[in-house]
Amino acid sequence: MSKAPALWRRSRAFALGLALVAVLESQIGLSEARAAWQEQQDAPAKGATARSASAAKKKAAQKSARKKGRAAQKAESAPEPAAATTPAPAGSLKFSQDVAPILVANCTGCHSGNGVGLRRGKLDLSTFEKIQAGTPGHKIFVPGKPDESHLVLRVNGEETPRMPQGANNQLSDEAVSRIAQWVKEGARLDAGIDPRAKLESYASSPEQLRRKQIMAMAPAERDKKVEEAARARFKQANPKLTPTAVSSDHFMVVSNLPEDRVKTLEKTLEVSYAQLKRLLGRGAYDPVEKIGVYVFLEKADFVEFVRSVEGRDVSSEQEATARIGMPQPYIAAYDPLGGRKEEPAPKKAGRSRKRGQTSGEGSQTRTLAGLTIEALGEGLVSASGKAPRWLATGLGAYIASLHEPRNAYYQRIRQTAFENYSGGWESKSVEALGGTDQTTAADIQAVGFALVEWIMTTQLRQGFPVFVARMLEGQGQLDEALRSAYQSTREQFLKVAGDWIAGSYGRLR
């Protein structure tokens, strides 16, 4: 009995195992069947997806082809690419500096706006874009081929009519060569310049071009040109003069002065030059050449120099002049000592007084240093912008007064300023600052000197560089200059200045 149940249990377990295997086999078969059925169901969808992807790909290709076609049409209809898009090799000519100034000075007047060259020839030279477009009939230059460029052939005379028209208007050989070389190098526009911009907006001025050429010279070569110009100008005053030239950092004294006086003069001018540069700030004119200092031992030679070189008559009182903002700048002066040795100034006795409060007459004779410093100051201010006359003459005289403070010349300037105050300061000062025809040169200088001396000897000195920077933009900036530097109106400024003049200069009488 005991074995039967065990056998039955084993048989039953075996049967259950077979049944489980059968179930699993059936499930596996069903799974495979389902997988096959699902594959059949998915086949159309996959085909549709493939067809959809293929269609999308085809559509994108068609769109890309249409886009390329439009770009090609646009490229065909567009003008040739400007040479400006390709950077010029190092050392190449620049259109803005080497060619545009020539065109602006000689060509754009006729070939722009209502100019006859534009009306008749249909050639507009006002912008690089229009220059590149040429005329309705042809281009005026072929990049890299000056011999095939009408622009070059017209200015050099190989084609007619020669441009610019008129025997006196023809370009120099240097200008023609520069245009031809620019075309040969590819006729490019400077990188970063808008081809549609007016040439006048970026063309280098003749002064900028001159400065660039001079700065490219070796220092010895620059000095040679300064000396050559000085000797040529001396000959215009007196062909018999044979001066010597001695240089410092910023000056070249050309004269027949004793060596010790030349060294003293150069040292004094260097100090005053540094003072002026500090006062004028970043707006100060910076000569790229040394300033020639022409000293004449005879008044007649100085007078003839002004007449022949500057083309004007000189008053009997004037003993110095300057032209700083020009090629080979210079100061020319008459030496009151006639080349003799300069005696040291006598020491002042007693306690010193504040500037503008000196009493008694000083020396009646100007010093050579005082004359040249004053001319330097006036000339440098005038060259630094659009400074009004009162500022140029006033600052020049003030800087010179620091070197010869007790000279009677400055006493007379102060007395003239006081007379302007006594004669109705409100109107006199406005007239002097405005430089009207009713105002004399002496009054303009006196008012300018008084204002500068007042500012420079009071707390207002701190705002002077800001004031000057504005005034270098022109007389019309006076009100803005006063607001920026001193938070003052013109009326307030002149009222306080008048009170100072009355108190300081009134004691000189």
Domains in the chain, CATH or no CATH each? 83-204 (no CATH), 218-339+357-384 (3.40.30), 385-509 (no CATH)
Asked which of 261-275, 339-353, 448-462 is least confident by mean pLDDT, the reply is: 339-353
For residue 21, the model assigns a pLDDT of: 38
SS3 367: coil
In which band, very low, low, confident or very high, does the pLDDT at 89 lie, cut at 50, 70 and 90? low
Buried b (16+ CB within 10 A) or exposed e, 235-273: eebbeebebebbbbebbbbbbebeeebbeebbebbeebb
Q: Looking at residues 299-328, what average pLDDT do you find?
A: 94
Which helix (H) or strand (E) segment holds residue 253: the answer is strand 251-255
**Pick from 389, 378, 369: nearest CA to 329:** 378
For residue 84, the model assigns a pLDDT of: 45
Task: Check pLDDT > 50 for residue 1.
Answer: no
Inter-residue contact 187 to 143 (CB < 8 Å): yes
For residue 493, the model assigns a pLDDT of: 96
Mean pLDDT of the chain: 83
How many Cα atoms within 13 Å fall on the side-chain side of residue 369? 24
The two structure tokens encoding residue 312 = 């004007």
For residue 442, the model assigns a pLDDT of: 94
Inter-residue contact 254 to 294 (CB < 8 Å): yes
In which band, very low, low, confident or very high, does the pLDDT at 45 lie, cut at 50, 70 and 90? very low
Task: Check pLDDT > 60 for residue 228.
Answer: yes
pLDDT digits (tens, 9 = 90+) for 365-414: 899 999 999 999 999 999 998 999 999 999 999 999 999 999 999 999 99
Separation of CA 193 from chain center:
16
**Pick from 122, 177, 184: nearest CA to 149:** 184
Task: Report the percentage of the chain scoring pLDDT > 90.
Answer: 59
The angle that helices 441-456 and 408-422 make with each other, rounded to 10 degrees, is 100
State which of 74-88, 109-123, 137-151 shows the largest mean pLDDT. 137-151
In the block, tokens 């200088």 appear at 445
Sign of the alpha-carbon torsion through 95, 100, 103, 105 = negative
In which band, very low, low, confident or very high, does the pLDDT at 35 lie, cut at 50, 70 and 90? very low
**Pick from 458, 497, 465: nearest CA to 484:** 465
**3-state SS track over 92-124:** CCCHHHHHHHHHHHHCCCCCCCCCHHHHHHCCC
